[in-house]
Structure 1
Amino acid sequence: MTAPSHRETAWWQEPVVYQIYPRSFKDSNGDGIGDLPGITEKIPYLARLGVDLIWLSPIYKSPNHDNGYDISDYRAIMPEFGTMDDFDTLLAAAHQAGIKIMMDLVVNHTSDEHEWFIQAKSSKDNPYRDYYIWKDPAGYTERGEPIPPTNWIAAFSPSTWEWEPTTEQFYLHMFSVKQPDLNWENPTVRQEVYDLMRFWLDKGVDGFRMDVINLISKDPAYPDDPAVAAGSKTDSLGMVANGPRVHEFLQEMNREVLSKYPVITVGETPHVDTADGLLYTGFDRGELQTLFQFEHMGLDGNPNPALGKWNDTRFKLVDLKDTLSRWQNDLSGKAWNALYWNNHDQPRAVSRFGNDSPEYRVLSAKMLGTVLHCLQGTPYIYQGEELGMTNVYFENIEDYKDIEIHDAYRKLVGSGLVSHEDMLRYISQSGRDNARTPIQWKAEAHAGFTGGKPWLKLNPRYTEINAEEALADPGSVFYHYQQLIALRRQHPIMVNGTYELLDPKDEQVYAYYRHGTGASEQETLLVIANFTDSTLERTYQEPAGEHTLLTSNYPDDTQNTLRPYEAKVYLYQA
């Protein structure tokens, strides 16, 4: 990849990305499930917003045990979403509108219904056997039951090991039992992955978001997880994160595939710090261009490690500033970060980091957008974020569809660690289905998402929060996001300026400078955001030169007085 300096910007650093979770975006045929023609229908809406690139969550053929992240055929479209012709139509429509398409590459694991795994489990000498990771039992219980090779806990099940009685071995699955991990030590597997990447790139897609890509290399010793042994762990993903050959594998992928196409890449990388970030996305590393890290996503986690993320406490702004600032500073000039508040696996941003009450929802949603889009990195907008969509509360656990939610409910309520009532509250705060309720297009039946019964219940707030209302209101969250995207194009300092945090111990206000470089070195941005519902007074040292108020979520400027959830950006030009 081209190594940009502060004085130039590579093309892949410039886009604003919009993530689409196809199942919940727009249904075109009335079956209650979003589909590819529905996305094509909304390309003009996305063009109006101004985004440069769409990231599609998986659209491949899948039994849908984990909503498409269990793939049974990488070269076929999930029938519920449409056909390959529908995809080609979508790709052409997006490109015509000047919007690129990024696919979701899920190659740490496949579905157990993929032909590779069907063959692999049939016998130990099958040619596909070594496509997956198989181990003998560690022993047998007094009752003759096989003991798993390690004590690892899977993300969606009690153990990462599933017994296969036909061949009398365990296979590894870091997630669901229906998501067996691929064996990246096998060079044939790697070539299979590279071939399927070429298939989509040759069709004209513009890049890949790579699902849990830093888990692909496992420690060949397969040691036990000490945290599980101590009873203080909810999963063992950390045991396989950043494995011994992961950088070798990614450099090979880049060398054989990515470097030969004009692509944009982002890797999902749990359990990383900034030192890891420099390795995965360093400009001179030849691996990935950007990465999703999760440090700021864990700031409101439960202090009891046995409960993992399940919690209803709020984050602390000082911690958030410290985390985001560390990533800003440590990667600056050396690597590139992805910027996000939410995605298909995370709660809604305005409910988590802002205030989703009727009084403050719009203000705080705009404030969050301002803070994020003015940082250095690639901004990601998750579908509905531009409308200020909120978390949801369902009283019946069966109304939730997410495999993670039901697994956590069984583990925590079933064991007596958490009451039913508390767990429903935690799910409303932390569950993935908060992000997956269908997009609220109109204040009519089924929110304009479908003419049938939605696959997942709607958020009942669709009558007040929907795209039709937003597009008719010049003061909506939508138009604020539209302005932020336009400002990023107009002012290179928003892309390549360096970062300086102000008042790191301030528990109420997030303020920072962006210092211009290259052609914009005489410029400075001052970003100020009140994260509270209180009126505050703040004074900051003004940079040299004349200044302009670039954007604000209030119609006027009260200078040093910050109103509830006020966010404003000044541009200083020396």
Structure 2
Amino acid sequence: MSAKQPLITKGPHKWWMDAIIYQIWPASFQDSNGDGVGDLPGILSRLDYIKSTGATAIWISPFYDSPQHDMGYDIANYEKIHEPYGNMEDMDAIIKGCHDRGMRIFCDLVVNHTSDQHDWFKASRSSKDDPKRDWYIWRPAKYDADGNRQPPNNWRSCFNQSAWEWDEKTQEYYLHLFVVEQPDLNWECKAARQAILDSAVRFWLDKGVDGFRIDTASLYSKPMDFPDAEVTDPGAPHQPAFHLFSDGPNLEGYLRVLGKVFNEYDSMTVGEFPNASFERSVRATSAADPQMSMNFHFALCDWKRDMANDPYQLTQTETLSSFKRILSAQQTHVEGTDSWPSFFLENHDIARSTSRYISDAPEWRVASAKVLACLMATASGTLYIYQGQELGQVNFSPEWPLEEYLDVGSINYIKLVKERGGDLKQAHKGLAALARDHARTPVQWSSEANAGFSTAKPWMRVADEYKSINMADEDKDPKSVLSFYRKAIALRKEHLDTFGHGLFRLTDVENDDTIIYSKLGPDGKVAVVALNFTTKPQKFAVPPEAKGRKLQLLLSSLHDSVSDDSTLEPMEGRIYLAV
């Protein structure tokens, strides 16, 4: 990509706008020492493979010292490695290995909360007079009319518990928006903010890390009067309160504090800002007022989820046309601004995209994954690929028992359904479609025992399909999902000015069978992307932007050439250049 101004932003061109970032979930990526858990040496051993996919960077989910109550998002020491993963020398080798290969490396920045085993929190809970007491959020109890002790308010945590935990020693509650073992840091405290910058941010930037994915970036600022949430779940002791503790009054100031440090190092950040409107996201990612480089939008992840009643269940009311409206809004919201978008279909917190958006039926899985690869390769913004996505990994079997669901969110959901006397079969059905667990099964490297992930029994069961979906076989098969991803990413790089930086124009919004859109590049360049999401042939019309031009096929997910430029075969994706 040349240094000329990108089409979708008025901001300056930055190196990270061209990046293709491969996310790694360390526990499930590659075990090098036979203990059943992925580790840093395992990551190091696969850097050449990652580069072969076309990725230009890696993002490693939390690898810090942690008791693992929430898979490493409960950090006990920002400057130490979780021992089963390796040591600091291993991490230094990965940083060097990436840079030697011309790749960048990103880490997770988890600073809304720490582990309750962090020295900061141990000091904070030791006494009300400790200097670090104010580094976390403590409040006295309330008492009801009968004199029973109650939490400071009725907030429900993100994992279906009270957001408050009683501390017997100091006779106060502390706030935890996630699990009990994840106390929230108090960003109002200047000393705590400085410690966060020194230990969690500068420590790693000085080591050579190129940026961060900012975990729970919307939660640092809370309304410090802690009002009760309105009762939307009658009869429940704790109420949903995300709208109260997200995007609080001082959040922008806190993000600017971080942004100032990131700018010093010319580093990249992407925020996890789940409920941000597109307007709010533009504000948070403005080049003129840097809070973060870009933001993750989760509306596509929430497509067909019953967010109003039960986010672990699917609704039956939304169709492909609603998916397309979300896609178009996500792809166009920064136009005319100095902000920048990101694009992803998978990460560690959502089910597998082939299962989620199209079809994981054995006869259609490969074709479906390739259709989504066409969408990925032509999306505007910085691109994120999650481990195993390039292989076409799918959700594990709905026949797996509930005991196989190991994520704390799934466990707490099952517990809540049981406590309320709910329909456990329906809960199981929802988890089979939407649970985070599906993204966390081990990467399927080969058809050997344990999918080549480990010589020991893995910490989490390997998906049953590993003998038909694995890297070793796909690497040798020119028609595999992996081979197609490599082609699609290479094509993206060749036409980055149009696919990565071009303007997105959706056609035929109400059509529930196909997604057809144009990408408008510099100097009148036009590409056309046609995706069939059905198992039947589908007609499609040339978008208005390409009228009067000849369609030159750049890539088909099914064939090297096509004879009919107006009909898509079942589950086919095509990318054209209009000349």
Q: Residue 527 of structure 2 corresponds to which residue in structure 1?
A: 525
Query: Which amino acid in 2 is paired with 1:551?
Result: L
Alignment of 1:219-234 (within 5 A): 219-228=223-232, 230=234
Runs of 4+ in 1 over 6 A off after TM superposition: 231-234
Q: Residue 516 of structure 2 corresponds to which residue in structure 1?
A: 511
For the Cα contact (< 8 Å) 1:318–1:507, is it kept in 2? yes
Query: Which amino acid in 2 is paired with 1:9?
Result: H
Question: Helix, strand or coil: the match of 2:394?
Answer: coil
CA RMSD of aligned residues (A): 1.9
Given candidates 247, 254, 263, the residue that maps to 2:252 is 247
After superposition, give the CA deviation of every residue in 1:35-59 in whole Å (9 maximum; x if it has no partner): 0000011111111111011010000
Given candidates 176, 181, 195, the residue that maps to 1:178 is 181
Query: Which amino acid in 1 is paired with 2:353?
Result: A
Q: Is 1:438 matched up with 2:442?
A: yes
Q: Residue 290 of structure 1 corresponds to which residue in structure 2?
A: 294
Q: Residue 276 of structure 1 corresponds to which residue in structure 2?
A: 280
Question: Helix, strand or coil: the match of 2:419?
Answer: coil
Counterpart CA distance in 1 for 2:314 and 2:65 is 34
After superposition, give the CA deviation of every residue in 1:57-90 in whole Å (9 maximum; x if it has no partner): 0000000000100000000000010000011111
For the Cα contact (< 8 Å) 1:231–1:306, is it kept in 2? no
Q: Residue 567 of structure 2 corresponds to which residue in structure 1?
A: 561
Q: Is 1:332 matched up with 2:335?
A: yes
Given candidates 336, 355, 359, the residue that maps to 2:359 is 355
Question: Helix, strand or coil: the match of 1:80?
Answer: helix
Query: Which amino acid in 2 is paired with 1:525?
Result: A
CA spacing shift, 1:180–1:31, aligned 2, 3 Å: same
User: How much does 1:540 deviate?
Assistant: 2.0
Q: Residue 165 of structure 1 corresponds to which residue in structure 2?
A: 168
Counterpart CA distance in 2 for 1:544 and 1:97 is 44
Given candidates 490, 495, 498, the residue that maps to 2:503 is 498
Counterpart CA distance in 1 for 2:233 and 2:23 is 38
Residue ranges of structure 2 left out of the alignment (5+ in a row)? none
Residue ranges of structure 1 left out of the alignment (5+ in a row)? none
Q: Residue 416 of structure 1 corresponds to which residue in structure 2?
A: 421
Query: Which amino acid in 1 is paired with 2:118?
Result: H
User: How much does 1:327 deviate?
Assistant: 2.1
Given candidates 29, 43, 48, the residue that maps to 2:47 is 43
Q: Is 1:570 matched up with 2:576?
A: yes
Q: Residue 193 of structure 2 corresponds to which residue in structure 1?
A: 190
Counterpart CA distance in 2 for 1:106 and 1:504 is 38
Counterpart CA distance in 1 for 2:160 and 2:526 is 50
Q: Is 1:318 matched up with 2:321?
A: yes
Q: Is 1:147 matched up with 2:150?
A: yes
Question: Helix, strand or coil: the match of 2:518?
Answer: strand
Q: Is 1:14 matched up with 2:18?
A: yes
For the Cα contact (< 8 Å) 2:160–2:416, is it kept in 1? no
Question: Helix, strand or coil: the match of 2:301?
Answer: helix
Counterpart CA distance in 2 for 1:171 and 1:140 is 19
After superposition, give the CA deviation of every residue in 1:461-506 in whole Å (9 maximum; x if it has no partner): 0011000111010111112211222122211111211111111111
Higher mean displacement: 442-451 or 526-535: 526-535
Q: Is 1:100 matched up with 2:133?
A: no
Relative to the length of structure 1, the TM-score reads 0.95
Q: Is 1:117 matched up with 2:97?
A: no
Query: Which amino acid in 2 is paired with 1:244?
Result: P
For the Cα contact (< 8 Å) 1:312–1:430, is it kept in 2? no
User: How much does 1:395 deviate?
Assistant: 3.1
For the Cα contact (< 8 Å) 1:375–1:494, is it kept in 2? yes
Counterpart CA distance in 1 for 2:315 and 2:327 is 22
Q: Is 1:59 matched up with 2:63?
A: yes
User: How much does 1:358 deviate?
Assistant: 1.6
Counterpart CA distance in 1 for 2:357 and 2:311 is 19
For the Cα contact (< 8 Å) 1:338–1:379, is it kept in 2? yes
Alignment of 1:191-206 (within 5 A): 191-196=194-199, 197-206=201-210
Q: Residue 401 of structure 2 corresponds to which residue in structure 1?
A: 396
Counterpart CA distance in 1 for 2:487 and 2:359 is 22
Question: Helix, strand or coil: the match of 1:214?
Answer: coil
Alignment of 1:446-485 (within 5 A): 446-485=450-489
CA spacing shift, 1:314–1:521, aligned 2, 3 Å: farther
For the Cα contact (< 8 Å) 1:528–1:568, is it kept in 2? yes
CA spacing shift, 1:404–1:298, aligned 2, 3 Å: same
CA spacing shift, 1:568–1:9, aligned 2, 3 Å: farther
Counterpart CA distance in 1 for 2:58 and 2:240 is 31
Counterpart CA distance in 1 for 2:530 and 2:463 is 32
Question: Helix, strand or coil: the match of 2:305?
Answer: coil
CA spacing shift, 1:96–1:412, aligned 2, 3 Å: same
Q: Residue 259 of structure 1 corresponds to which residue in structure 2?
A: 263
Q: Residue 159 of structure 2 corresponds to which residue in structure 1?
A: 156
Counterpart CA distance in 1 for 2:53 and 2:239 is 39
User: How much does 1:414 deviate?
Assistant: 2.8
Q: Is 1:540 matched up with 2:542?
A: yes
Higher mean displacement: 421-430 or 175-184: 421-430
Query: Which amino acid in 2 is paired with 1:473?
Result: D
Counterpart CA distance in 2 for 1:169 and 1:4 is 54
User: How much does 1:346 deviate?
Assistant: 0.3
Counterpart CA distance in 2 for 1:566 and 1:234 is 45
Query: Which amino acid in 1 is paired with 2:13?
Result: T
CA spacing shift, 1:28–1:522, aligned 2, 3 Å: same
Counterpart CA distance in 2 for 1:3 and 1:88 is 34
User: How much does 1:326 deviate?
Assistant: 1.2
Q: How many residues align?
A: 565
Counterpart CA distance in 2 for 1:145 and 1:372 is 54
For the Cα contact (< 8 Å) 1:207–1:263, is it kept in 2? yes
Counterpart CA distance in 2 for 1:410 and 1:564 is 42
Question: Helix, strand or coil: the match of 2:23?
Answer: strand
Higher mean displacement: 549-558 or 228-237: 228-237
After superposition, give the CA deviation of every residue in 1:118-161 in whole Å (9 maximum; x if it has no partner): 1111111101110101111222462x432111111111242101
Query: Which amino acid in 1 is paired with 2:196?
Result: V
User: How much does 1:227 deviate?
Assistant: 4.6
Q: Is 1:73 matched up with 2:77?
A: yes
CA spacing shift, 1:9–1:483, aligned 2, 3 Å: farther
Counterpart CA distance in 2 for 1:428 and 1:12 is 35
Higher mean displacement: 5-14 or 429-438: 5-14
Identity of aligned pairs, percent? 37
For the Cα contact (< 8 Å) 1:3–1:283, is it kept in 2? no
Question: Helix, strand or coil: the match of 1:34?
Answer: coil
